[in-house]
């Protein structure tokens, strides 16, 4: 019996290339909590300070890199439950992004059953740590959204 085909892997990180839209820095706005957010990164970082003036300040950041820098600034008062809610916040952002933009939904569904991996040495929680040792939570959540879109529940 021939060996099974290996599961394809789609690596992404930068906003360029065929799968650049998987990056939270991609310039695709999302509408959540009654507001338009320039990128999913803006939304995610701002939710670290939900209900505080920092939330709106981050929403208005000119670039996703600026929103990320602001969100990581520990001079700002991080919400106490952040570690418990951060994955749900990311999932909400991804669901919005891939249901509010038909072209992005098509790209995500077009990956079939490929394993999606945020391939970067810069992050071992959301990404793969660059060497596969990371948790790749962003890739895993994207695969979950892909399944929800297939099942018509997202």
**What are the boundaries of each domain within the chain?**
9-151
pLDDT above 80 for 1: no
Q: Report the pLDDT value the prediction gives residue 6, as an integer from 0 to 100.
A: 87
The pair phi, psi for residue 140, each rounded to 5°, is: -65, -40
Q: What local confidence, expressed as pLDDT, does residue 138 receive?
A: 98
> Per-residue pLDDT for 3 more than 80?
no
Question: 0.85 exceeded by the pTM?
Answer: yes
Mean pLDDT, the chain, whole residue set = 96
pLDDT at 45 over 80: yes
Q: Are strands 35-37 and 30-32 parallel, antiparallel or unpaired?
A: antiparallel
Flag whether pLDDT at 123 surpasses 90: yes
For domain 9-151, the CATH class is: mainly alpha
66-75 tens-digit pLDDT: 999 999 999 9
């Amino acid at each position: 019996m021939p060996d099974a085909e290996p599961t394809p892997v789609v690596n992404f990180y930068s906003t360029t290339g065929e799968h650049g839209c998987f990056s939270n820095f991609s310039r695709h706005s999302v509408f959540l909590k009654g507001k338009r957010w320039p990128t999913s990164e803006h939304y995610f970082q701002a939710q670290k300070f939900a209900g505080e003036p920092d939330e709106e300040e981050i929403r208005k950041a000119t670039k996703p890199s600026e929103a990320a820098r602001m969100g990581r600034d520990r001079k700002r008062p991080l919400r106490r439950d952040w570690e418990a809610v951060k994955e749900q916040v990311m999932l909400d952002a991804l669901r919005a992004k891939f249901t509010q933009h038909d072209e992005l939904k098509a790209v995500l569904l077009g990956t079939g059953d490929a394993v999606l991996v945020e391939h970067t040495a810069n992050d071992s929680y959301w990404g793969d740590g660059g060497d596969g040792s990371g948790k790749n939570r962003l890739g895993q959540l994207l695969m979950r959204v892909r399944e929800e879109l297939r099942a018509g529940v997202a």
